[in-house]
Structure 1
Amino acid sequence: MSDLISGADSRAAETKTGFDNARIAEVKSWLVSQFDAAGKDVPEFEYTPRSISHLHNLASISQANTQAAGIVASDLRQKAAEYRSQAARIREILEKAGLAQESLTSNGVALAQILANVANFLNIRDTELSSFLVAIGDIYLRKTAVEDKRAKVQKDSNVLLDYTRKAIARLTYLKRILAQLEDDVVACEAPMDNWKTNLAIMVAKERQYLQQYSNYQAVLNRVGYTPEISHGVLVEMAEHKQELETKTKPILDTLRSYQDLPPDKALAALAIEDKKRQFAAAEKYLEEVLHSALATTE
């Protein structure tokens, strides 16, 4: 088993070494090509795994960019050849038509240059009227779009200007209010101090009144005061008492007359019996009145 493991490790080490050697060879080849192109020698440096990895990445990127640049250059060379061929063909046509550049006057050359500039500006590649009309229409559309955009910008600018004016007016108003408030601060300081003093006095009075209220509440609780005992109830009871006294006054006067009984025993006994009956009747009447008064109070 150990032999198998050691064999696998040795093969992995050989593979890694071969891979590193291949990368080192690629890096050396790339460095030589780059420095030879610049006419310089490759400087000496230590080949470490980190440096080899970094240089290999640079070489890969450089080769990819070089390949892409070669493709683009080849395409540009092909297009240049096509343009030269087309220019030669157009020159031949112009010479046959007697419109060669050498045969044109200076004004003709200037007009041709202007025509070429207009064609380039309109992005026209032929002499068809339809192409010219399409280009003019495109310019008109772009002009209309620019005018619309300019009108919108002008409208937004007017709105912003209006907002700015309102903001300036508001700022001026706020500054004026601030100055007025600063002037009023001095005049309001004395009343504020007076109000603070009065507030402190009122707070002290409030504490005093709350303490007195608590004391009075304790006294009322101690004497058995209930919410049912109010001033109105006491007044009604006093009036009822006065009414009872008024009604019983004749009876009391009658009872006081008992003191004037005759000296005769028989007459006195009759008078006493009569007074007892009157007293019983008065007492019964008094009880009825008291019961009715108590019922009315409840």
Structure 2
Amino acid sequence: MCEKISKVNSWLSEVFGDQPVPHFEVNTRTVDILFQLAQSSEARCRDTALLSEDLKQKASEYQAEGAHIRDVLLQGVGLSCSSISKPASDYLSALVDNAMVLGVRDTSLGSFMPAVNNLTNELLEEEKSNRRLERELRALRKRLGTTLVLRSNLQEDVNKAIKCQSVESVKAEERMLNMDFVRAKAKELSSRRERAEAQLVSRNMNKSLTHQAIVQLSEEATALKQEIIPLKNKLKPYMDLSPSPSLAQVKIEEAKRELAAIDSQLQMNIDLE
């Protein structure tokens, strides 16, 4: 535990430098966490140092290789920066720029071809991705057009529904007003009927003069008229015969009496109507 604390204190002193180390609670958990951070930081520093040394070594190798190539060109071929024409210098500069853009180690064909192939593959993948995205974009545009049409139709339906709702609201209000009028009229008629019934009761009106009684008497008179028709049909055959005067007279007198009774009853019913 003491070893961890001393290592953590040493690491914190290196991290904060001249600034004071912030106060923290010293317990097993915080010490373990800080100790792990210190180890990770030291490991990362070692990796960074190794990478820096490797880069320095590669830079020195590149410089040595460049010096060797410059000596070869100057001594073996007789080329120098002053002896190279401007177009050749421009070509070399472009070659170097391309090499730096491609990220190759040198400008040999063996280095350029894989880099160019990789870029070509990436370009093909990007073109493939672009075609896929264009298909998706066309599909989205088609869906968007359909959605806009549906939205327009829905908006029209909503407007129609709002208009119909306003019309129905006006009609409902009119119905309510008519209903109130009908209720008030029905109440008024009921009150008038009650007053009329009270007046009829106060005047001792005969029930036989009511509409219902008159209708019933009319129905009875119609029934009696229907009963007279068979009796007349019975008398009709005797009207053409020449019966014996006494028997015929008796039958005639009986028929006359029945006919007179029926006529009297019919006349009474008509007078009551």
In the superposition, the TM-score normalised over structure 2's length comes to 0.49
In the superposition, the TM-score normalised over structure 1's length comes to 0.46
- The structure whose RCO (Cα within 8 Å, separation 6+) is larger is 2
